[in-house]
Amino acid sequence: MDVSTFYALFSATCFTLVGLWWNVVQSHTDWMREPALRRVVGGIYLSFLLPALMGLFAQVGGAQQPQVWRVAFIVLAVVGCGCTLRLLARARGDRFVTRQQAGAALMYALIAVVGAFPELARPLGLTPIQAEAVMLIVLVVLGHALVWRFMAGEGRPAEEAPAA
């Protein structure tokens, strides 16, 4: 795996997802009026923005200067975990969303731990930056699942959404 190419494509894809999410939000201005919905919208935004930023820092540091990406991953993962835990604490009873947010918080925590202790990736047969890549992929998949649930519920939790 060419890590530099992966992170270049990954980061660009995540920034594209950020832009697409902005377009969706612009067509649903009512989502920004209700504080609970605005928090979820912001959480979705972060689920693509933070991995995009991590991808950029991975490119800057790469394998030659791992301290660059490691510090950035730790800081950004702590921010992501904190924001996700705040969202989780305010979840409105939708078990899918609760599980997704718990999974995202776990991924952020693991990303920070591997950033701080890169030797933990070695037993998996991966370099630390590869292990981080796998976890970032999972994080984006979880973000995508939240977008799907949010869009399918038209911006409301599943129990409030109209039947399809």
pLDDT in tens, 25-38: 998 888 889 888 88
Confidence at residue 37, expressed as pLDDT on a 0 to 100 scale: 83
Between CA 74 and CA 112 the distance in angstroms is: 4
Residue 93 per-residue DSSP state: S
Residues composing the chain: 164
- Listed residue (17, 21, 6, 123) closest to 69, CA to CA: 6
Q: pLDDT tens for residues 47-103? A: 999 999 999 999 998 878 899 999 999 999 999 999 999 988 877 677 888 898 999
Between CA 51 and CA 54 the distance in angstroms is: 5
Q: Which is more confident, 159 or 20?
A: 20
CB 23, CB 49: distance < 8 Å = no
Q: pLDDT tens for residues 113-161? A: 999 999 999 999 999 999 999 999 999 999 998 888 878 875 654 444 4
Confidence at residue 148, expressed as pLDDT on a 0 to 100 scale: 87
Confidence at residue 163, expressed as pLDDT on a 0 to 100 scale: 45
Give the C-alpha distances (Å, rounded to integers) separating 34 from 8, 27, 50, 129, 155: 36, 15, 24, 39, 10
H or E element that contains 85 = helix 66-89
Give the C-alpha distances (Å, rounded to integers) separating 100 from 7, 60, 103: 24, 30, 5
H or E element that contains 147 = helix 128-152
Confidence at residue 154, expressed as pLDDT on a 0 to 100 scale: 57
Between CA 128 and CA 115 the distance in angstroms is: 8
Confidence at residue 155, expressed as pLDDT on a 0 to 100 scale: 60
Confidence at residue 1, expressed as pLDDT on a 0 to 100 scale: 62
CB 104, CB 77: distance < 8 Å = no
Between CA 131 and CA 122 the distance in angstroms is: 9
